[in-house]
Amino acid sequence: MRRKIFRGVVVLAVLGLIFVFWAVWMSGVFHRTLPENLQTGDNEPAARAVATPGAWKEPQFASVIARGEYLARAGDCVACHTARGGEPYAGGLATPTPFGTLYSPNITPDRQYGIGDWSEQDFWRAMHDGIAPGNRLLYPVFPFTHFTKISRSDVDAIFAYLRSLPPAAKPNHPNEMPFPYNQRSTLVFWRALFFRPGQFQPDPEQSAEWNRGAYLVEGLGHCGMCHSAYNALGAVDPNAQLAGGLIPVQNWYAPALNSSNELGLGAWTDDELAQYLKTGVSVRGATYGPMSDVVFHSLQYLSDPDLQAIAVYLRSQPERASPSNKQRLEVSPQLAAELVQQGKQIYVNHCAACHQLDGRGSGLQYPPLAGNPSIAMQPGTNAIRMVLLGGFQPGTKGNPRPYSMPPFGQLLDDHDVAAVVSYIRQAWGNNAPAVSPAVVTRFRQVPVE
């Protein structure tokens, strides 16, 4: 009885705090603490100035719009703000998270459903501070924690490009989040703990190329949104930026980008990495899963100097250990030996025709498995999912006829998948632990998005 009373008191106290913070937030007290150029309440007419319809299509804006289009590509905006089969930037794409499913908003210049009534200052505030008109706090599934580093001129250029698009009269899909996550006021606590607005500061000790790469990776490209581990509150651990992590709900493992071991970037050349990012393929491997989408929608459109800058920056990063998401179910030595022995025959029957008996692959079409660092990643997540779901290279200008790996999930059971993955992880000089059939079962049950 006492426990129930105590729990009830705690719940009431939490609800009371949420209400108090909501009331204080709506009163504008927090906003008065922002820098002068960010104080843009809805009662300030200058902040609500809106360009006349079609103004962004006038000739004097052509260069700004072209630059904004390039920057929007670099930020991969279209991938999140376009539903399957929907109009570009009209929103509606579902993003499942541990806290519920969120749907991307319409960011076309439609005045009813999109951002047609937004000013440049409104858009800047959303990108830089994560606050939409009406003082609505944006959920951090929108990467304002990274976009806050983008320069004002680049944000204005992206806004000009979005305002030049044809308006799409598509209503926004409501988010599907349980209480209390559906209360935006609770984000005040999250922001206090995990968010500090600020712009990118170049490192004077580094070259202009290195700094350009840092700006793209840390800000516009928001690479850390996937390639970092998250804590229980859905925030990236600041000490594990780019140290690799399991993408929440999707359960693809995004490898460390600051490690010489996991992807082996220390052995790549800048040119090899730049080609990989631009085309999705290289002599060292090919992209798959969510990374193929990033290459298809974003990276293939970047200039060669920008891709080189990204490569230079990534290959300079010191190794850091990811604090989580690398646990695995231990496999006994006896079971591991049995799996590897069985997996060898499965590989011969189903894999060797493309990847060759020696695991060396064939050109850019069939990536090598021997010495491929992605095969050895812990806990074997991506190799398992590739066997279950297949692997699909992106179609790019540099790889217009991509080869893809068919799924084997309907042909092989969980034990078979564990066997062939365990064999691949230990053959041809690869040195990674065997994977458990129980892990395969776990990932087979993950819904495909």
pLDDT tens per residue, range 74-100? 999 999 999 999 999 999 999 999 999
Q: Measured between alpha carbons, how far is 123 from 51 in angstroms, rounded to an integer? A: 13
Tens of pLDDT along 25-75?
443 434 433 333 333 333 333 333 344 445 556 666 889 999 999 999 999
> What is the architecture, at CATH level 2, of domain 333-444?
Orthogonal Bundle (1.10)
What residue ranges do the domains of the chain occupy?
Answer: 35-194, 208-315, 333-444
Q: Which one is predicted more confidently, 370 or 449? A: 370
Which of these, 283, 329, 282, lies nearest to 307 by C-alpha position? 282
Amino acid at 49: A
Cα(395)–Cα(195) distance, integer angstroms: 36
Looking at the DSSP bridge assignments, the partners of residue 253 are 246
150, 78 contact by CB (below 8 A): no
Least confident of 152-166, 247-261, 269-283: 247-261
pLDDT score of 238 more than 80:
no
Alpha carbons 386 and 364: distance in angstroms, whole number: 17
pLDDT above 70 coverage of the chain, percent: 82
Least Cα distance to 64 among 124, 125, 153, 151 occurs for 153
Amino acid 272 reads: E
Whether the Cβ atoms of residue 177 and residue 98 lie closer than 8 Å to each other:
no
The answer to whether the bond into 180 is cis (omega within 30° of 0) is yes
Name 7's Cβ contacts closer than 8 Å, sequence gap at least 6.
none
E-only strand ranges, 138-236: none
Please state, in angstroms and rounded to a whole number, the distance separating the CA atoms of residues 71 and 158.
Answer: 6
How far apart are alpha carbons 115 and 111 in whole angstroms? 6
Domain 208-315: top CATH class: mainly alpha
> Can you tell me the distance from the alpha carbon of 352 to that of 54, in angstroms, rounded to the nearest whole number?
58
Given this model, what pLDDT does residue 24 score? Answer: 44
Task: Give the C-alpha separation, 174 to 345, whole Å.
Answer: 50
DSSP classification of residue 244: -
Instruction: Write the CB contacts of 146 (distance below 8 Å, at least 6 apart in sequence).
Output: 218, 219, 220, 221, 222, 224, 225
- Same CATH fold, 333-444 and 208-315? yes
In terms of pLDDT, which residue wins out, 446 or 380? 380
Give me the half-sphere count of Cα atoms (radius 13 Å) on the Cβ side of residue 411. 12
Structure tokens given for 406: 């068919």
Residue from 95, 102, 92, 251 nearest 178 by CA: 102
CB-CB contact of 169 with 112 (8 Å): yes
pTM above 0.75, yes or no: yes
